[in-house]
């Protein structure tokens, strides 16, 4: 096993076994605020294969686009995303369109959130 692969496995294990339980305790203690729930979902994305796929340089996604992809995948609406990251809904829609182009989603019937969940 390569040194890099072992390192990645250790990081994933630490996230799953240390960081996620801590976030779950915070949620239990302080309630299910949208920021804590979003943090938990983002951490879960990191340790999933989705986290690796979405970061693939071939897609050429910006950091903001990756952030928005994660929120779309987790079921947030355009308005919720806009409110959460303090941008306009129109800007979120522009990002959605750019993301669709970068993934080659030309079929308007293809729902972006469904596509992202399948990655």
Q: Print the SS3 string covering 63-110.
A: HHHHHHHHHHHCCCCHHHHHHHHCCCHHHHHHHHHHHHHHHCCCCCCC
The CATH architecture to which 60-119 belongs is Orthogonal Bundle (1.10)
Mean pLDDT by 10 residues, the chain (119 residues): 73 76 80 78 77 83 90 92 93 96 89 91
60-to-12, 17, 36, 97, 102 alpha-carbon distances in Å: 24, 31, 28, 14, 7
Residue carrying structure tokens 């800007």: 91
Model confidence, pTM: 0.67
Q: Where in the chain is the domain with CATH 1.10.10.10?
A: 60-119
């Amino acid at each position: 096993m390569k040194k890099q692969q072992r390192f990645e496995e250790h990081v994933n294990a630490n996230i799953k076994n240390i960081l996620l339980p801590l976030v779950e305790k915070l949620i239990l203690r302080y309630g299910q605020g949208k920021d804590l729930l979003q943090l938990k979902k983002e951490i879960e994305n990191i340790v999933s294969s989705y986290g690796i796929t979405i970061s693939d340089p071939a897609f050429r996604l910006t950091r903001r686009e990756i952030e928005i992809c994660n929120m779309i995948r987790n079921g947030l609406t355009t308005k919720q995303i806009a409110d959460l990251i303090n941008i306009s809904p129109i800007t979120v829609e522009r990002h959605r369109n750019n993301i669709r182009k970068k993934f080659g989603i030309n079929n308007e019937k293809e729902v972006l959130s469904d596509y992202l969940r399948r990655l």
